Amino acid sequence: MINFEFAKKEMIEIQLKRRGILDNRVLSAFESIPRHLFVPEGRIENSYDDSALPIGFEQTISQPYIVALMTQLLRPLENDIILEIGTGSGYQAAILSKLCKFVVSLERKSELVSFARDNISKLEIKNVQIYVGDGTLGWKSNSPYDGIIVTAGAKEIPSALISQLKPGGKMIIPLEHKGYHKLTVVKKEENSFVKEEIIDCIFVPLIGRG
Number of amino acids touching ligand SAM (CB under 6 A): 25
Q: Which of 90, 82, 91 is nearest to 161 (CA)?
A: 82
The Cα 30–Cα 33 span in angstroms is 5
Alpha helices, DSSP H, located in 60-109: 64-74, 91-97
Q: Which of residues 146-205 bind ligand SAM (CB under 6 A)?
A: 151-152, 203-204
Q: How far apart are CA 91 and CA 35, in angstroms?
A: 7
Applying CB under 6 A, among 7, 26, 61, 103 the residue interacting with ligand SAM is 61
Q: Of 131 and 189, which has the nearer Cβ to ligand SAM?
A: 131
Per CB under 6 A, the list member of 12, 112, 120, 201 interacting with ligand SAM is 112
Closest CB to ligand SAM among 86 and 147?
86
Using CB atoms within 10 Å of the CB of residue 79, give its burial: 0 to 12 exposed, 13 to 18 middle, 19+ buried.
Answer: exposed
62 labelled catalytic: yes
The CB density around residue 69, as the number of other CB atoms within 10 Å, is 22
* Rounded least distance, CB 90 to ligand SAM, Å: 6
- Binding segment (CB under 6 A) for ligand SAM, from list 4-12, 88-96, 122-130, 176-184: 88-96
Question: Of 15, 97, 136, 164, which one interacts with ligand SAM (CB under 6 A)?
Answer: 136
CB of 158 vs ligand SAM, minimal distance in Å: 8
Q: Phi and psi dihedrals of 12, rounded to 5? A: -65, -45
Q: Of the listed 47, 62, 97, 105, which one is catalytic?
A: 62
Among 30, 48, 91, 102, binds ligand SAM (CB under 6 A): 91
Cα–Cα distances (Å) from 160 to 30, 61, 92, 186, in that order, read: 30, 25, 22, 14
Burial tier of 5 (Cβ tally within 10 Å: 0-12, 13-18, 19+):
exposed
Q: Tell me which residues touch ligand SAM (CB under 6 A).
A: 59-62, 85-86, 88-89, 91-92, 106-109, 112, 134-136, 151-152, 203-204, 206-208
Kindly list the catalytic residues.
62
